[in-house]
Amino acid sequence: MQDSKTNYGKERLRDMMIRRSSGRKLVDKVVSIFAVFSVILAVVLLGSILIEVIINGAGALSINFLTQPPGAIGSGMGGIGPAIQGTLIIVGLASAIGTPVGVLAGIYLSEFGGHGIFPSVVRFFNDVLVGLPSIVIGIVAYITLVLTLGSFSVWAGAFALSIIMIPIVTRVTEETLKIVPNSVREAGQSLGIPKRKIILRIVLPSAKSGVITGVILAIARIAGETAPLIMTILGTDLFFTTLRGPVDALPLRIWRLASQPYEYAHSFGWGAALILILLVLGLSLGLRLVAHKRGFKIRTIAAG
Amino acid sequence: MNVKRGIIILTESREKRNKKLSSFFLSGKRRGDKIFYIVVIGAAAYTLLMLALILYAVGSGSVKIFSFEGFKFFTSTDWNSVEGRESFGAFPYIIGTLISSAVALAIGVPLSLGIAIFLSEMSSSKILSKISGPLSFVIELLAAVPSIIYGLWALFVFRFWILNLIEMPLYNAFGQSIPFFGVTPFGLDWFTAGIVLAIMIIPIVSSICREVIRAVPDSQREAAYSLGATRWETVRIAIFPYAKSGILGAILMGLGRAIGETMLVTLVIGNAIGASAIPTSLFSPSQTLSSLIANEFNEASSDLHLSALIGLGAVLLMLTMAILIGARLLVARMVKVSPGARE
């Protein structure tokens, strides 16, 4: 008797709550549906990009396409050989400049920086530098290198890309080194090892995977940059000859091909895009798979 | 694992060093450390040097146009590089930049928040938790796709979706009556550019938002749920206030990207010049600061023309610097949860 009464009371209470809260539940449902909808929309749109690049790009691929220089405009002949070569050269050169500078600056911020004024200023403006539009950095490379040296050059392109790369590497290095436990440094110090050796031989190697992650993600980022290349390397139909002259690059070639009014040029553009995306996603995907296997986590770099 | 390896190296080097202990302690150690310190502080200073170089180069490059046009550079709508009749005004491109970025935020931010909420708050059920891992992986991967590829896709694929699904129906329905829909659409306009920019910023904005939301302590959620709040109410009263500055920082980060983006915009915005770049309709072609620079930089006919383009770069630089500094002050590294600290 007593039992059924309380049950009845409970049921009434529940009914009341449900009735009063039906509006709230509706709002909750709507928001949930919106969240699911946005996920589906993003997956469809972003998936469409990958699928279109793969389908349209695969049709253009051939040995000639990958190795030949571009033919005369409108001829439908040639390939993107110089662009692939140029991208590898510029990105290689930019990372040869950017990696050591970025890693050393990251070491400074993590190991010597603390919370003084100078390191805080460096940290602040490093973060600002990460987000600056790449076309502005292209203008800077144009004024400082192209105008003074008198010609568009590989150096100018690599310089511009290194400015984009350095702040990313600096930030990741600093953050990764900071995770290395202090006891490791203290152990080194107690043995009388010089600070530089503690850092270079003990701290840096234990943070190796994180630093390499940052470098590879930065390389993936600069490999796809187009805007700064317009005013630094200009683009050419010829294979690389000198570091002081213009060179071609994949993103630049895609832009030029897409702007041409020929059907075959668009197809070539998709082909070049497929190669670029394989390069960029190959780098970060490979990295993430290795990271997953080794069990370390990759943070999204808010690379502005 | 890595730490262990470090200790092995440590003991090895210790043995080696014991042999010439005295000379080592007295001379090389201090000097080597000092040189190393100078090298690393030099690398850190290089960052500041680059920023100074950027400000100096853009400033010096645009001196010519600012002395030629004065303040009119910001307000004039002319863009004429013909010798003898030169006149350069950045106004239409500032407008073009702002409205296309506004569209990008208006569409991109709600979707990004939806994705972030889905990934961090809705993965409680078994099915959802299984897909949320791979999903965030894919979305983060897409943050790495170069913008030129977004541009290529937008020009040859997505433009026609927008044209056929949104623009033509709107034009057919309201084209005669409302001037805002009164220009024949081709899919090459500021509206399309804004939508593609929105798609481009979704991966980065949603992954930062997700990290910020995940960093909110569970006690916040539990408190809200224990009061009988629904999931949305929990997000609204317990999570958003806590993650506010981080989310705002993510939005500003996305805004910075949208404003500075060049290649994608150049391909789909229609590249109008002068007064006609100020849109009169949703379907008008327009132009942004960066897209005009990209289009004309290599064909600049005179030093003044070149300086005008660099002047556009200066305006762009000022805009993004203001946004980035704001974002940096707001977020204050709130997003900076150390890797591995939270799963």
- Alpha carbon separation from A92 to A219, A222, A253, A301, B229 (Å, rounded): 9, 10, 18, 21, 54
Q: What is the mean pLDDT of residues B53-59?
A: 95
Task: Tell me which H or E stretch contains B159.
Answer: helix B159-162
Q: Which residue of B has its CA nearest to A134?
A: B260
What percentage of residues in chain B have a pLDDT greater than 70? 87
Q: What is the mean pLDDT of residues A205-215?
A: 87
Q: Which residue of A has its CA nearest to B234?
A: A28
- Chain A residues closer than 8 Å to B112 by CB: 38
Tell me the average pLDDT of chain A: 87
- Chain B residues closer than 8 Å to A24 by CB: 230, 233
d(CA A63, CA B140): 32
Residues in Cβ contact with B42 at an 8 Å cutoff, skipping those fewer than 6 apart: A104
Check A24 against B230: CB less than 8 A apart: yes
Task: Answer whether residue A4 shows pLDDT above 70.
Answer: no
Check B262 against A41: CB less than 8 A apart: no
Q: What is the mean pLDDT of residues B144-163?
A: 93
Domain boundaries along the sequence of chain B: 2-64, 79-331
- Chain B residues closer than 8 Å to A133 by CB: 259-262, 290, 316-317, 320
- Chain A residues closer than 8 Å to B60 by CB: 143
d(CA A202, CA A208): 10
Strand partners, A234: A247
Check B321 against A128: CB less than 8 A apart: yes
Where residue B115 falls among pLDDT bands split at 50, 70, 90? very high
- Chain A residues closer than 8 Å to B58 by CB: 136, 139-140, 143
Check B235 against A31: CB less than 8 A apart: yes
Strand partners, B312: none
* Partner-chain residue, chosen from B2, B47, B294, that has the shortest CB–CB distance to A105: B47
Q: How high is the pLDDT of residue B7?
A: 52
d(CA B277, CA A297): 46
Q: How high is the pLDDT of residue B94?
A: 94
Choose from B15, B16, B50 for mutation: most chain A CBs within 10 A. Answer: B50
Check B48 against A122: CB less than 8 A apart: yes
Task: Answer whether residue B122 shows pLDDT above 70.
Answer: yes
What percentage of residues in chain A have a pLDDT greater than 70? 89
> What tens digit of pLDDT does each residue of A9-31 get?
666 656 655 556 678 888 888 99
Q: What is the mean pLDDT of residues A68-86?
A: 87
Q: How high is the pLDDT of residue B178?
A: 86
- Total Cβ atoms within 10 A of residue B218: 8
* Partner-chain residue, chosen from B41, B335, B338, that has the shortest CB–CB distance to A179: B338
Where residue B1 falls among pLDDT bands split at 50, 70, 90? very low
End-to-end CA distance of chain B: 20
* Exposure b/e, B289-325, CB count within 10 A at least 16 = b: bbbbbbbbbeebeeebbbbbbbbbbbbbbebbbebbb
What percentage of residues in chain B have a pLDDT greater than 90? 48
Q: What is the mean pLDDT of residues B226-241?
A: 89
Which 3 state secondary structure label does DSSP give A272?
helix
Q: What is the CA radius of gyration of chain B?
A: 26
Which bin fits A192, alpha (ψ -120 to 50), beta or left (φ > 0)? left
- Total Cβ atoms within 10 A of residue B338: 12
Q: How high is the pLDDT of residue A300?
A: 46
Where residue B142 falls among pLDDT bands split at 50, 70, 90? confident
Tell me the average pLDDT of chain B: 85
Q: How high is the pLDDT of residue A21?
A: 67
Task: Answer whether residue B342 shows pLDDT above 50.
Answer: no
Which 3 state secondary structure label does DSSP give B17?
helix
* Partner-chain residue, chosen from B144, B263, B320, that has the shortest CB–CB distance to A255: B263
Check B149 against A284: CB less than 8 A apart: no
Task: From B273, B260, B263, B261, select the one nearest B308 (Cα to Cα).
Answer: B273
Q: Tabulate helix, strand, coil % of chain A (nearest 5).
A: 80, 0, 20
> What tens digit of pLDDT does each residue of B287-333 get?
999 999 999 998 888 899 999 999 999 999 999 999 888 877 776 65
d(CA B204, CA A132): 15
Question: What angle is formed at CA A158 by the lines to CA A84 and CA A140, rounded to 5 degrees?
Answer: 130
Check A300 against B208: CB less than 8 A apart: yes
> What tens digit of pLDDT does each residue of B248-272 get?
888 988 998 999 999 999 999 998 9
Task: From B273, B59, B200, B230, select the one nearest A45 (Cα to Cα).
Answer: B200
| DSSP per-residue string spanning B185-198 | --S-SHHHHHHHHH
* Cα B107 from chain centre: 15
Q: What would the two tokens of residue B147 be?
A: 């913008």
For helices A263-294 and A81-107, what crossing angle results, to 10°? 40
| Structure letter (DSSP) for residue B158 | I
Choose from B129, B202, B262, B333 for mutation: most chain A CBs within 10 A. Answer: B262
Choose from A16, A26, A28, A46 for mutation: most chain B CBs within 10 A. Answer: A46
Check B141 against A288: CB less than 8 A apart: yes
Which 3 state secondary structure label does DSSP give B263?
helix
Q: How high is the pLDDT of residue A25?
A: 84
Task: Answer whether residue B337 shows pLDDT above 50.
Answer: no
d(CA A44, CA A52): 12
Where residue B336 falls among pLDDT bands split at 50, 70, 90? very low
B79-331: which CATH architecture?
A: Orthogonal Bundle (1.10)
